[in-house]
Amino acid sequence: AQSVTQLDSQVPVFEEAPVELRCNYSSSVSVYLFWYVQYPNQGLQLLLKYLSGSTLVESINGFEAEFNKSQTSFHLRKPSVHISDTAEYFCAVTHSGAGSYQLTFGKGTKLSVIP
């Protein structure tokens, strides 16, 4: 079984400042990792994913996350946030073997960008 811990429930940050949303996971097997974003009254949208290969993955809107196997982390970063980044962000994990079809999500981190 896997688990995900998002260490901060809320993160306020000023516009154009950098931000890091922390995610740690626990698993006894190899994993795939994901970040999803949820805007108010909407479903979740995939932001980025790590399946294999380069440990640094990037999204089209400037976010990046780095898979660190030794620290079992997959922190999300953005060098300069915008008001439109205000949303809730969820880290999720699934094990990479065949036969696993469920994502295990963290409790989410609410990012509030202050003008």
Partner 1 sequence: DAGVTQSPTHLIKTRGQQVTLRCSPKSGHDTVSWYQQALGQGPQFIFQYYEEEERQRGNFPDRFSGHQFPNYSSELNVNALLLGDSALYLCASSRGQYNSPLHFGNGTRLTVT
Reduced to 3 states (helix: H, G, I; strand: E, B; else coil), residue 107 is coil
Q: For residues 59, 14, 4 and 98, what is the CA-based torsion angle, rounded to 10 degrees? A: -10
Looking at beta carbons only, is 52 or 115 nearer to partner 1? 52
Query: Restricting to residues 56-95, which ones interact with partner 1 according to CB under 8 A?
Result: 90, 92, 94
Looking at beta carbons only, is 19 or 108 nearer to partner 1? 108
Q: 67 with 24: CB under 8 angstroms? A: no
**108 belongs to the binding site for partner 1 (CB under 8 A):** yes
C-alpha to C-alpha distance for 41 and 11, rounded to whole angstroms: 20
**112 belongs to the binding site for partner 1 (CB under 8 A):** no
**104 belongs to the binding site for partner 1 (CB under 8 A):** yes
C-alpha to C-alpha distance for 114 and 4, rounded to whole angstroms: 27
Query: Restricting to residues 41-60, which ones interact with partner 1 according to CB under 8 A?
Result: 41-46, 49, 51
**32 belongs to the binding site for partner 1 (CB under 8 A):** yes
CB of 7 to partner 1, least distance (A): 14
Question: Which stretches of the chain bind partner 1, using CB under 8 A?
Answer: 4, 32, 34, 36, 41-46, 49, 51, 90, 92, 94, 96, 98-108
